[in-house]
């Protein structure tokens, strides 16, 4: 049974655009907080199932499958589609947003405003950094592996999101220096995602000395660019990121590797692409990131160039 909103908190109408792993977890949290939740999806799942700590939670939430089914703007729009799919959601966004709608962009990258802002005719955009690891096992079925934090810029909208989801499985942290936080989040995925996807190896490939040095070079370039963009980064951020890779389980995967193995397009424009675009604005050379970006773009549209039907043991 859904809990009623805590005393003094008004029930809000929350639309979740995209019911993948992250969208499902956010829909669950908003429902748990006592809000009215609507899924906006191509195909409505019969039930949402969230696996967490060996338990299964099943939810039945109303869903709409076309923008024409939107009856009125919502209070909150949680944008949880893949970044390269966002332009195709323009009609959804325009129908769901009004002057007071807050649009939370739950996507990777450091340029949320530049990518999504032009799609908004009304409403307020709130970029979000997602520290949730989850896997979509099937339609409406998600396994929550670890993490529960979302980082947003400090301010009225960020505080309102924290209040919206208070007391749920999702914790909202408001960050005064969001630019630095966004670049530090980018560093985590910048080398790990592309290098695992290109080699079709799990995270253990980053322990190889030559691959580690390539990762170090990519991260060093990104720190230079991030500082030019106003992020308070230093050489220590490179070493801390490399230490993070060392601490990861060698058989762990990355979202970009999973996308490539599944035949989906990889989101290269949000990681090395973001570094290259920012570098070009400042005239900073980034040969390693530019080369990796070129290789990722050379994959066929499905991201499966060179893949065989059977994935070797230790990779899949």
Separation between Cα atoms, residue 50 and residue 59, nearest integer Å: 8
Does residue 11 contact residue 73 with C-beta atoms inside 8 Å?
no
Give helix 209-228 / helix 272-282 axis angle, nearest 10°. 50
Which letter does DSSP use for residue 310 in this model?
S
Q: Tell me which residue of 132, 183, 127, 134 sits closest to 152, measured CA to CA.
A: 127
Is residue 185 annotated as part of the catalytic site, yes or no? yes
Q: What 3-state class would DSSP assign to 145? A: strand
Q: How far is CA 281 from the centre of its chain?
A: 24
CB atoms within 10 A of CB 218: 26
Separation between Cα atoms, residue 241 and residue 16, nearest integer Å: 32
CA distances to 26, 29, 63 from 38, in Å: 11, 13, 5
Does residue 86 contact residue 79 with C-beta atoms inside 8 Å?
yes
Of 2, 57, 84, 185, the active-site residue reads: 185
Separation between Cα atoms, residue 173 and residue 137, nearest integer Å: 28
Written as one string, the DSSP assignment of 110-171 is: S-HHHHHGGG-SSSEEEEEEEEEEEEEEETTEEEEEEEEEEEEESSHHHHHHHHHTTTSS-E
| Residues 6 or more apart in contact with residue 84 via CB below 8 angstroms | 265, 267, 269
> Which residues are catalytically annotated?
185
């Amino acid at each position: 049974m859904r809990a009623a909103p805590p005393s003094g908190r008004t029930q809000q109408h929350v639309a979740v655009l995209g019911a993948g792993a992250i969208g499902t977890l956010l829909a669950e949290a908003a429902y748990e907080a006592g809000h009215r939740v609507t899924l906006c999806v191509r195909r409505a799942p019969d039930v949402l199932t969230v696996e967490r700590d060996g338990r299964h939670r099943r939810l039945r939430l109303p869903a709409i499958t076309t923008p024409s089914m939107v009856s009125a703007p919502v209070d909150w729009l949680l944008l949880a589609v893949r970044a390269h799919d966002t332009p195709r959601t323009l009609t959804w966004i325009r129908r769901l947003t009004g002057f007071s709608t807050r649009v939370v962009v739950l996507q990777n990258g450091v340029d949320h405003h530049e990518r999504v802002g032009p799609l908004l005719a009304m409403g307020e955009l709130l970029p979000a950094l997602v520290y949730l690891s989850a896997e979509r096992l099937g339609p409406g079925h998600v396994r929550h592996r670890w993490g529960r934090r979302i980082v947003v810029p400090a301010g009225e909208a960020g505080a309102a999101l924290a209040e919206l989801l208070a007391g749920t499985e999702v914790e909202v942290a408001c960050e005064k220096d969001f630019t630095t936080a966004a670049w530090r989040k980018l560093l985590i995925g910048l080398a790990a995602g592309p290098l695992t996807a290109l080699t079709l190896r799990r995270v253990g490939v980053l322990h190889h000395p030559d691959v580690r040095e390539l990762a170090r070079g990519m991260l060093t370039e990104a720190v230079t660019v991030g500082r030019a963009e106003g992020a308070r980064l230093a050489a220590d951020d490179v070493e801390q990121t490399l230490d993070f890779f060392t601490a990861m389980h060698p058989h762990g995967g990355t979202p970009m590797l999973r996308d490539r193995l599944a035949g989906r397009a990889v989101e290269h424009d949000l990681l090395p692409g973001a570094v290259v675009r920012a570098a070009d604005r400042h005239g900073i050379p980034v040969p390693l990131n530019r080369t990796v970006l070129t290789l990722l773009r050379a994959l066929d549209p499905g991201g499966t160039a060179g893949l065989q039907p059977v994935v070797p043991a230790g990779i899949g």
